[in-house]
Amino acid sequence: MAHFIELYDTTLRDGTQAENFNLSVEDKIRITLALDDLGIDFIEGGWPGSNPVSAEYFDRMHSVELKHAKLAAFGSTRHFRNRPEKDPNLLALLNAKTPVITIFGKSWDIHVRDALHIELEDNLLLIQDTLTFLRPYVQHLFYDAEHFFDGFKNNEEYALETLTSAVDGGAETIILCDTNGGTLPHEIPLIINRVKEYLAGKNRSVQLGIHAHNDSETAVANSLIAVSETLVRQIQGTMNGFGERCGNANLTSIIPALVFKMEVDCEVHQHIEKLYTTSRLINELANLPHNRYQPYVGQSAFAHKGGIHVSAVKHNPLTYEHIAPDKVGNFRRILISDQSGRANILHKAKQWGLKLEPDDPVLATIISELKEQENQGFQYEGAEASFELLMRRAMGLQRNYFKLESFRVMNHKYRMDKPPLTEATIRLYIGGREVHTAAMGDGPVNALDCAIRKALLQFYPCLEEMELTDYKVRVLSGEHGTQARVRVLVDSKDPLCNWGTVGVSVNIIEASWQALVDSITYKLMKEDKKKLG
């Protein structure tokens, strides 16, 4: 690990430019601390002069001590009409009192003329005197050469001249930005090596970095090839790849590749097992769903579905896993589906404490029933509680806690300007005793849930601590219109764990009832297991 890489995270600035990605000041501070724990070298907190949230964040960070990371403030070169010492944005950067300031400037002549509306020589002056003004006030001064790769292709000589101005202004690292995300991996080494040759010819000594966007789905590849082929010193990116348009270079993919595949040294190497939890924390704070298919940190990154795959992984995980999941804090999952084989079922039986041997005839029964159920539209990958109940019933281990006799759901739209009233009535038997109850609810599924709880609580008080957390409906085939079969997935939780259940029917109420009954039955089964120790 001779080559050392600095990792510069821009989630709190670039990431927040993504659609539907919003963070409070408290969220930004929590993310900063998590990135510091992970071992990120530089954390860009945002643009202090852009909005009150960023200004408050930097103000509050004055009292927050970071163990390793250094906080960076981000801003642009001065306005053409302002002297550096009079420019509000530059003064806001200094007021943030961060050890690092990152300035971006124009590298593409089209932007100089059409965005700034100034002469090319004027832009060179803006870059140099902005950095010269800031240099005495900060420990580290970085320069982001915005649109550098596009600028290089359009006007190589001018793009390179802008870098000379940045070095002469005092930048210690120049980061070459693929701002539009259109550069492909094979172009990266040619351009960066030309930059190194040019700066050496000008007797300018400076470190280089890369800042890639993902509009061509190559941001991670571009960043890694910049390290392997040109030995850049710094990689900029965001956690989970969040960013404007198609996002930025995804650090949760870049970091494991650097550490485990390229043997590049970086501080995160010491704490990389925190990558999975850091990734999920940022999604949670941004109130965004986790991308289950994301490499390394996705829920499906180490999930195995096909029976042959599962059998091989049980003998040697290297057969279908490029790294061990626990290296990044993730974990292996064995899925239950219509592609499941004996190995999947036996793995789940062991996981749930069920005694099932490979030569047990019940195993074939379970596989057959599973495939038949999924042929009807059931799906157990997100509803493993329902599958455990299926296995227990097949093995004769599942207790019947109650028996449904009938249910009825009524919607009454009594006024057009008011929501409908929904009432559910159920009749069931518990230990030979008939229970008949009714309940109101916000919609038919909620009414059913309220009615069954009302009936069961007097017998099973533990249901009081259980709640439904999510409800999803999917139409399995649209060719029959409103007669199409639907699948309902219900997520539930209690103070100790979460579980998912499923129901399928041409009637959405019936499918919901199946999922609700499985959810309640699973909770009661858990309580029985707890009592047995």
Q: Which residue among 227, 253, 270 closes a domain?
A: 270
Overall average pLDDT of the 191-196 stretch: 98
pLDDT bracket for residue 64 (50, 70, 90): very high
**CA separation for the pair 355, 100 (Å, rounded):** 60
Does the pLDDT of residue 479 top 80, yes or no?
Answer: no
Instruction: Return the CA Rg of the chain.
Output: 29
| Ramachandran category for residue 242: left, alpha or beta (phi over 0 → left; psi -120 to 50 → alpha) | beta
256 and 307 in a single domain? The answer is no
Question: Number of folded domains in the chain?
Answer: 2
Q: Residue 203: pLDDT above 60?
A: yes
Does any domain span residue 171?
Answer: yes
Lowest mean pLDDT among 211-225, 242-256, 289-303: 289-303
- Rounded average pLDDT over 193-219: 97
Q: Give the DSSP per-residue string, 430-454.
A: ETTEEEEEEEEESSHHHHHHHHHHH
pLDDT, averaged across the chain: 91
pLDDT bin (cut points 50, 70, 90) of residue 482 is low
Percent of residues, the chain, with pLDDT higher than 70: 96
Other C-beta atoms closer than 10 Å to the C-beta of 446 total 17
Residues 117 and 209 in one domain: yes
Count how many Cα atoms sit within 13 Å of the Cα of residue 204 in the half-sphere of its side chain.
24
Task: Tell me: do 124 and 219 sit in the same domain.
Answer: yes
Q: Is residue 17 part of a domain?
A: yes
Pairing of strands 498-505, 486-493: antiparallel
Quick: pLDDT tens for 390-422.
999 999 999 999 998 999 999 888 788 888 889
The pLDDT value given to residue 462: 94
Within a domain: 490: no
Q: Is the pLDDT of residue 474 over 60?
A: yes
pLDDT bin (cut points 50, 70, 90) of residue 1 is: very low
Same domain, residue pair 199 and 332: no
Percent of the chain with pLDDT over 90: 68
**Residue of 204, 157, 169 lying closest to 84 (CA atoms):** 169
Is the pLDDT higher at 305 or at 350?
350
Single out the residue in 391, 426, 455 at which a domain terminates.
391
CA dihedral 276, 278, 280, 283 (to 10 degrees): -150
Same domain, 200 and 342: no
Closest C-alpha to 278, from 290, 262, 267, 266 = 290
| Whether the predicted pLDDT of 181 surpasses 60 | yes
Say how far apart CA 186 and CA 179 lie, in whole Å: 17
- E strand map for 247-381: 303-304, 333-334
With H, G, I as helix, E, B as strand and everything else as coil, classify residue 314.
Answer: helix
**355 in a domain, yes or no?**
yes
Residue 294 maps to a domain: no
- Using a 10 angstrom Cβ sphere, with 0-12 exposed, 13-18 middle and 19 or more buried, the burial of residue 443 is middle
Can you tell me the distance from the alpha carbon of 33 to that of 44, in angstroms, rounded to the nearest whole number?
12
Q: Using an 8 Å Cβ cutoff, are 12 and 32 in contact?
A: yes
Say yes or no to pLDDT of 478 above 60.
Answer: no
Q: Do 188 and 222 form a contact (C-beta atoms < 8 A)? A: yes
pLDDT value of residue 483 = 63
> For residue 68, what are the CA distances in angstroms to 39, 58, 257, 489?
7, 17, 22, 44
Same domain, 212 and 348: no
What CATH number does the domain containing 109 carry? 3.20.20.70
Q: Do 307 and 243 sit in the same domain of this protein?
A: no
Confidence of residue 533 (pLDDT cuts 50, 70, 90): low
Q: Is residue 456 part of a domain?
A: no
pLDDT exceeds 60 at position 481? no
Q: How far apart are CA 74 and CA 70, in angstroms?
A: 13
Q: 57 and 170: one domain?
A: yes
Q: Over 96-157, what HEC string results?
A: CCCCEEEEEEECCHHHHHHHHCCCHHHHHHHHHHHHHHHHHHCCEEEEEEECHHHHHHHCHH
Domain residues for the domain of 313 are 303-391
Mean of the pLDDT values across residues 79-105?
A: 96
Strand partners, 474: 487
Give the domain-ending residue among 223, 254, 270: 270
